[in-house]
Amino acid sequence: RPTITSQGEVKVTTSQKRGWKGDVITLAHSKAAIPEGYEFSHYTVNGEPIEGNTFIMPEVDVEVSVVLVPISE
């Protein structure tokens, strides 16, 4: 059963720590953990951006992360 790990400065929480192929995994993060001057852009799964906050679990382990961008003035 593949595992899901969080990478990066802002930790990602997941609806499951492990998933079976085909499971829908939901991602979340703490807005309070985002450094001042930055905002959330998107999540990545194994380095690939995803739309929204869910993905379908593949047959392999995955690394999820939050991508931040500087706040535009």
User: What are 13-67's pLDDT values in tens digits?
Assistant: 999 988 999 999 999 999 999 999 999 999 999 999 999 999 999 999 999 999 9
pLDDT category, 8, cuts 50, 70, 90? Answer: confident
Residue 73 has pLDDT above 80, yes or no: no
Contact 45, 62 (CB under 8 A): yes
Q: Who wins on pLDDT, 13 or 1?
A: 13
What is the arrangement of strands in the sheet containing 54-56, beginning at the earlier edge strand?
12-14, 24-29, 54-56
**Predicted TM-score of the model (pTM):** 0.89
